[in-house]
Every structure is written in C-alpha cells, then in structure tokens.
Amino acid sequence: MLTRVAVIALNAYRESVRARILHGLFALALGTAGYALIVGAYASRRRLRVVSDLGAASTSLYAIVVAVVLGATSLYRELELKTIFPILARPIRRSEYLLGKLLGTVLTLAVFIATNSGAINFTDEANITFASDGKILNQAAGTADVSCRSSCSSSR
C-alpha cells in the first residue's frame, strides 16, 4: 500500500512542478522577497525584523495560493494530459489515490516554502554582508577625505 501511495505522491509532485503557474508564483514570491529586502534597507533600527516579517508573510501568502491552485487544478490537468487513466487501470483504492495526491501536494508545498525561505535567507545574508562592506568602505573613504582636508588646509 505504501509503495502505491508513494508512487502517486511522486507523480503528483512531478506534475505540479511542471505546472507553469507554480513557476510564475515562485517568481512572484521571489520578487516580493526582494521587495522585503528593499523595505528592510529603509528601516532604521530593526532591518532584520522587517525583512523576516515581510519574508514570512509573503512565503505564507504564496504558499496558500499555491496550495489552492494545485488542489483546484490537479485533477483537471490529469484528465487533460490523460495521466489519470493508467493510474485508474491499476488495482488501487480511492483512499490510496487521495492520500497520494495529498502527500504530493504537501511535498510540493514543502519544497516551495523551503526554497523561498532559503532564497530570502540567502539574499538577506548577502545584503547584510554587502551593507557592512559598504559601510566599511564609506567610513574608510570618509576618513581619507577628512585626513586629506586637514593635510591640504595645513599645507596652504
């Protein structure tokens, strides 16, 4: 029983990953994560809090949208692509089929959430590193500018 459910779950996962709507929603979620980084850059004190809150909210919102879209369109896609007929020709119970579809959708959501959260974390860490390097460079340039002004004015 578990092997049949696992086969159906992996099939549902593969079909959902091939869906172009999932790719569009993933791109939109990454765009929203980029927006969270921009808004976080303008936060004066709690930049990490702003980025994490907006990132978590966008991940949750888009995960809900992905779950609804996948749940609503999975059977229609299987009928359209005729992938359901070989599955129904096998001796399988309805509960096994439904459990496999559910697990495939949960697997797709888990990968979506993990990838989106990882992208937010990765870009946030890179942004912090870049921002701290930029501050160091700005402080060094400011120090050099002040020292040049003082030495230039004293030589006159």
Residue 145 confidence (pLDDT): 41
Residue 139 counted as domain residue: no
Residue showing tokens 């172009």: 20
Total count of domains within the chain:
1
Residue showing tokens 């002040």: 146
Could you report the per-residue pLDDT of 43-66, keeping only the tens digit for each?
777 777 888 888 888 888 999 999
This model's pTM is above 0.75? no
Average pLDDT of the chain is: 78
Which tokens go with 28? 């939109």
CB 66 within 8 A of CB 108: yes
Residue 137 counted as domain residue: no
Residue 60 counted as domain residue: yes
Could you report the per-residue pLDDT of 80-133, keeping only the tens digit for each?
888 888 888 888 888 898 899 999 999 999 999 998 888 877 766 665 554 544
If pLDDT is split at 50, 70 and 90, which confidence band does 13 have? Answer: very high
Which of the residue ranges 20-24, 142-146, 148-152 has the most confident prediction, judged by mean pLDDT? 20-24
The residues, ordered by sequence, that sit 6+ positions from 45 with a Cβ below 8 Å of its Cβ are: none
Residue 128 confidence (pLDDT): 55
Residue 124 confidence (pLDDT): 64
CB 5 within 8 A of CB 92: no
Residue scoring higher pLDDT (15 or 137): 15
State percent of the chain over pLDDT 70: 78
> Which residues constitute the domain of residue 52?
2-121
